[in-house]
Amino acid sequence: MIIVMSQSASREDINNVERKLSQLGFRTHPIFGDIKTVIGAIGDKRLLNTQEISTMPGVESIVPIMKPYKLTSREFKQTPTIVNVGGVEIGGDKIVVMAGPCAIENKEIYIDTAKKVKEAGADILRGGAFKPRTSPYSFQGLEEDGLKIMAEAREITGLKLVTEVVDTRDVELVASYTDIIQIGARNMQNFRLLKEVGLYKKPVLLKRGLSATIEEWLMAAEYIISEGNQNVILCERGIRTFETATRNTIDLSAIPVVKEFSHLPVIVDPSHATGTWKYVSALSKGAVATGADGLIIEVHSDPNCALCDGPQSLKPSKFSQVMEELRKVAEAVGRTL
């Protein structure tokens, strides 16, 4: 940690900061520049409340040298984490595809879609039983009835399940049905919910918040891991920018950045990122070529009838074709699908 003193800081200000750091267990090394002084502080900043320093007279700013996350970092664990979901490995050579409708609306259609995505080669079945919707007047999900339908689809197809939880009070229930617990973008900094899912061993799919930096996203993972659950899968799903041609701006550069700073696997959601089924094929290929460990794609037997997010759903036939294309791209970058 480097403490930058302002140009007008007095010698006494500098001494006070050094004394304080020393009390807090840091070793200090001041460097007296021509105009400003900076103080190097050696010790673990994560244990420190930096405000105690940043508000002292003469302090201009504090520059952290170490990342704020620890268990999530590549420095802590140098080999990539492979999350095992009942035999399906996420983070290994094989690109894992999760597919299915946004919401579960109707048992027959859901099971029909499940069979078709299985046939096309998907590994994991998605579906929403608890839906976070912008409007209170929109369909909010079938709740436990939806989870039951998902379980039935798993029995029929053998696909593993991923579904979202939105309330700390529902974590136990959701965990009892699903194979992967999803934390949605809007809940990425719902810290109580992160802690709650951290108490289980179930893999967690952690979506990046709409305006979350990669560092904040990794800090959200840290919340889960620090409670004891190391099975975290990151999911890039687009960030909010000024561009309006797509629903969000998919940030594929997040893939190599995450791979550099963390050991966790990262997948991409091109359906929510773009908001338009027409762009899903192109961005799925782009994500795999960039290094994603998997994809989560919306597929719906009848997109015209979807109660939510229809415009971004692929029909099963189109999905099947996308899978074929992806296979070639996966091979081109030395992976399988």
Q: Which of residues 154-213 bind a second copy (CB under 8 A)?
A: 166-169, 186-187, 189-192, 195, 210-211, 213
Looking at beta carbons only, is 157 or 226 nearer to a second copy? 226
| 3-class state of residue 296 by DSSP | strand
Tokens read off for 294: 């998997």
Interacting residue with a second copy among 143, 251, 318, 321 (CB under 8 A): 251
Per DSSP, which regions of 33-123 are E strands? 37-42, 59-63, 83-85, 88-90, 96-100
Interacting residue with a second copy among 35, 79, 87, 108 (CB under 8 A): 35
Binding to a second copy by residue 106, rule CB under 8 A? no
Interacting residue with a second copy among 106, 173, 289, 320 (CB under 8 A): 289
Query: Binding residues for a second copy, how many (CB under 8 A)?
Result: 106
| Contact in structure between 46 and 229 (CB atoms under 8 Å) | no
Looking at beta carbons only, is 37 or 88 nearer to a second copy? 37
**Amino acid symbol at 214:** I
Interacting residue with a second copy among 22, 93, 119, 133 (CB under 8 A): 133
Binding to a second copy by residue 109, rule CB under 8 A? no
Tokens read off for 39: 């103080």
Looking at beta carbons only, is 96 or 255 nearer to a second copy? 255
| Contact in structure between 125 and 117 (CB atoms under 8 Å) | yes
Binding to a second copy by residue 333, rule CB under 8 A? yes
Q: From the CA atom positions of the chain, what is the Rg in Å?
A: 23
Interacting residue with a second copy among 15, 22, 253, 317 (CB under 8 A): 253
- Rounded Cα gap, residues 22 and 101, in angstroms: 57
- Rounded Cα gap, residues 6 and 196, in angstroms: 43
- Rounded Cα gap, residues 230 and 205, in angstroms: 11
Quick one: which segment of 84-92, 114-122, 149-157, 255-263 binds a second copy (CB under 8 A)?
Answer: 255-263
Binding to a second copy by residue 33, rule CB under 8 A? yes
| Contact in structure between 265 and 233 (CB atoms under 8 Å) | yes
Identify the burial level of 47 via C-beta atoms within 10 angstroms of its C-beta, where 0-12 means exposed, 13-18 middle and 19 or more buried: exposed
Interacting residue with a second copy among 116, 126, 285, 335 (CB under 8 A): 285
Q: Give the footprint of a second copy on residues 220-249 (CB under 8 A).
A: 222-223, 226-227, 239-246, 249
Identify the burial level of 206 via C-beta atoms within 10 angstroms of its C-beta, where 0-12 means exposed, 13-18 middle and 19 or more buried: buried
Per DSSP, which regions of 131-196 are E strands? 160-164, 180-183
Looking at beta carbons only, is 155 or 324 nearer to a second copy? 324
**DSSP structural state of residue 50:** T
| 3-class state of residue 314 by DSSP | strand
Interacting residue with a second copy among 82, 109, 121, 139 (CB under 8 A): 139
Q: Give the footprint of a second copy on residues 36-65 (CB under 8 A).
A: 36, 38, 40, 42-44, 46-47, 49, 51-52, 54-56, 63, 65
Binding to a second copy by residue 303, rule CB under 8 A? yes
Binding to a second copy by residue 97, rule CB under 8 A? no
Binding to a second copy by residue 78, rule CB under 8 A? no
Quick one: which segment of 106-114, 116-124, 228-236, 288-296 binds a second copy (CB under 8 A)?
Answer: 288-296
Least CB distance from residue 327 to a second copy, whole Å? 9
- Is beta strand 2-5 parallel, antiparallel or unpaired with respect to 27-32? unpaired
